[in-house]
Amino acid sequence: MKAFRVVLAVLLLGAAIAVIERAMVPLVRCNLAKGAINRTVRRFHRIGDEYQRFNMARRNLVRCDECLAAFPNDYQMHLLRAANLRILGRYDEAVRTFEHALTLTERAEIYAQLGEVEIERGNVEAARRALLKAATFNIEHVMTVDQPMRDEIYTAVYARIDRLKAAKHGQASPSQ
């Protein structure tokens, strides 16, 4: 009986160490990787050498996939993955990755980046929808697109606010 208890205790300790090794150590490692990937993604627009940019994006993509294998629900890692796919011109995959991130958590910056990729794909209506959603939360997201879409979204955001205020006060909306 005593031996059984010792075995059980050792197994418990082994299980705790296994969880630390399989989850906590990768958590710290992926946090570091995420920092490095994020820094390179922010630097991409300053790198003129396309070959170097592509190589960095490919390396980043490998690290993103490794971390996503361990933490498939990390929406920030999905965003970084999509940003690197965008650099590589794999727009369809980037859109799918953004959409997957949105199933995990809805955030304005995801819609904003999704809108930008849709523009690059030439899918203007989808871009408008995504950017309108992003700008509804934070109007600064509309600054990333050119005219006339910027003005259209800007007007739509303020029209919504006017409409809601008018509905609240029981008046006719000035924009209607």
User: Which residues are at the interface with other proteins (CB under 8 A)?
Assistant: 5-6, 8-9, 12-13, 15-17, 19-20, 24-25, 27-28, 31-32, 34-36, 38, 72-73, 76, 104-109, 133, 135-140, 157-158, 161, 164-165, 167-168
**Cβ 41 to other proteins shortest distance, Å:** 11
Tokens 């933490």: give the residue: 71
Nearer to other proteins, 86 or 141 (CB): 141
Q: How many CB atoms lie within 10 A of CB 122?
A: 9
Nearer to other proteins, 15 or 89 (CB): 15
Q: Are 175 and 162 in contact (CB under 8 A)?
A: yes
Tokens 């009986």: give the residue: 1
Cis ω before 148 (30° cut-off from 0): yes
136 burial via Cβ count (<10 Å: 0-12, 13-18, 19+): middle
**Cβ 50 to other proteins shortest distance, Å:** 26
**Cβ 107 to other proteins shortest distance, Å:** 5
**Cβ 138 to other proteins shortest distance, Å:** 5
CA torsion, points 118, 122, 126, 132, in degrees to nearest 10? 70
How does DSSP classify residue 148? T
Q: What is the largest CA-CA distance in the chain?
A: 82
Nearer to other proteins, 57 or 75 (CB): 75
**Cβ 51 to other proteins shortest distance, Å:** 26
Nearer to other proteins, 59 or 107 (CB): 107
Nearer to other proteins, 3 or 48 (CB): 3
CA 160/CA 156 separation, integer angstroms: 6
